[in-house]
């Protein structure tokens, strides 16, 4: 039986690296993984991981791919020897944290270029074939920052909201093509990048004091709720296995109560007040709204990480 061909972007570290290894080392040996890297010189950890996990020969191949460059995307596509990609994972991404006025236009542009336009380039390159074949899936790494505005993450959240709109719009369109859109969201992890972008001195003293509080809050959240990539990649496998993948998958539901505030009060006031309290005023467990509350029963709305799907996987899923 033909192997499922998977192309994953951003495989130098984090989710991309771990997902590539998880699939390449899968006992079913049913995946051929193209692990794409912006900088091919950064592939050392991937091959070390492949050796450590005993990935069988031919299960993993690296490709240079800078998602901001459509030429690079086209070259990566042409390098796939099977002539098709069954599963595209748009995972490459950048973060940016800090007061908006302290961030350079260049830093903001880079986040939007990588996170939003990078995914657009990939979808433009790979979706037409999937639609023609009525086969394939696209998984887009999501974030809690795509479900709710988070202070000091304005540009990052803008990029993640854009990805939500991109994936949801495509999901609606793709139904008759047997193409499914899904987004695999994760909460937080201390990333290698995405630290304060810019000079804090550009921000007024009150904003700087709030930023200090935000950093303390983040530290606390990282301690309590951060998930490692190994744990997060299981959500991608769930999206791959689903006979009819949902629009969104979550690696944890701990943050959904706050996100639900946005749906329950369409004016947005309730969410804004609750999030402000949560980040700047409350200790976790102090009795207020905490995203760590157990989720309440909800909605008819499906909230979860994202992936875009097309293809034969629609009704049976992949048995990886």
Ligand X SMILES: NC(=O)c1ccc[n+]([C@@H]2O[C@H](COP(=O)([O-])OP(=O)(O)OC[C@H]3O[C@@H](n4cnc5c(N)ncnc54)[C@H](OP(=O)(O)O)[C@@H]3O)[C@@H](O)[C@H]2O)c1
**Nearest-approach distance from CB 155 to ligand X, in angstroms:** 12
Stretch that binds ligand X, among 64-72, 172-180, 238-246, 311-319 (CB under 6 A): 64-72
239 contact partners, CB below 8 Å, separation of at least 6: 137, 139, 182, 184, 245, 246, 249, 305, 307, 309
Q: Is the dihedral of CA 165, 169, 171, 177 positive or negative?
A: negative
Is 249 catalytic? The answer is no
Binding-site size for ligand X (CB under 6 A) equals: 30
7-46 positions binding ligand X, by CB under 6 A: 9-16, 38-39, 42
Decide if residue 150 touches ligand X (CB under 6 A). Answer: no
**Nearest-approach distance from CB 251 to ligand X, in angstroms:** 9
111 contact partners, CB below 8 Å, separation of at least 6: 94, 95, 96, 155, 156, 159
Decide if residue 188 touches ligand X (CB under 6 A). Answer: yes
Decide if residue 93 touches ligand X (CB under 6 A). Answer: yes
Cβ nearer to ligand X, comparing 32 with 38 = 38
Decide if residue 141 touches ligand X (CB under 6 A). Answer: yes
Annotated catalytic residue: which of 156, 214, 249, 271? 156
Task: Specify the length of the chain in residues.
Answer: 320
Residue 61, φ and ψ in degrees, nearest 5: -140, 140
> Residue 267: is it exposed, middle or buried by C-beta count within 10 angstroms (0-12/13-18/19+)?
exposed
Helix, strand, coil tally for the chain in percent (to 5): 50, 15, 35
**Nearest-approach distance from CB 269 to ligand X, in angstroms:** 26
Contact set with ligand X (CB under 6 A)? 9-16, 38-39, 42, 65-68, 91-94, 114, 118, 141, 143, 186, 188-189, 191-193, 229
**Catalytic residue numbers, as ranges:** 156
């Amino acid at each position: 039986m033909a192997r499922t061909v998977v192309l994953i972007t951003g495989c130098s570290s984090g989710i991309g690296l771990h997902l590539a290894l998880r699939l390449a080392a899968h006992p079913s040996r049913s995946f051929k993984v193209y692990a794409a890297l912006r900088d091919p010189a950064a592939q050392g950890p991937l091959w070390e991981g492949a050796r450590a996990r005993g990935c069988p020969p031919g299960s993993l191949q690296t490709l240079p791919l800078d998602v901001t460059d459509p030429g690079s995307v086209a070259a990566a596509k042409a390098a796939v020897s099977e002539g098709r990609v069954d599963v595209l994972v748009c995972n490459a991404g950048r973060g940016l944290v800090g007061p908006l006025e302290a961030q350079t236009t260049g830093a903001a542009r880079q986040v939007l270029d990588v996170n939003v336009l990078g995914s657009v380039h990939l979808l433009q390159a790979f979706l037409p074939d999937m639609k023609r074949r009525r086969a394939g899936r696209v998984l887009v790494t999501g974030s809690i920052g795509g479900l709710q505005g988070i202070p000091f993450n304005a540009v990052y959240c803008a990029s993640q909201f854009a990805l939500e709109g991109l994936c949801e719009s495509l999901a609606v369109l793709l139904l008759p093509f047997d193409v499914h859109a899904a987004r695999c969201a994760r909460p937080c992890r201390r990333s290698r990048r995405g630290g304060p972008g810019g000079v804090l001195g550009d921000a007024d003293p009150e904003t700087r004091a709030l930023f200090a509080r935000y950093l303390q809050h983040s530290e606390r959240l990282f301690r309590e709720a951060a998930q490692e990539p190994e744990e997060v990649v299981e959500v991608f496998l769930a999206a791959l296995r689903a006979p009819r993948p949902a629009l969104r998958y979550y690696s944890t539901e701990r943050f959904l109560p706050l996100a639900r505030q946005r749906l329950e009060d369409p004016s947005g006031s309730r969410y804004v007040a609750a999030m402000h309290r949560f980040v700047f005023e409350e200790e976790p467990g102090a009795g207020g709204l905490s995203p760590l509350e157990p989720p309440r029963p909800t909605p008819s709305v499906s909230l979860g990480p994202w992936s875009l799907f097309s293809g034969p996987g629609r009704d049976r899923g992949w048995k990886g």
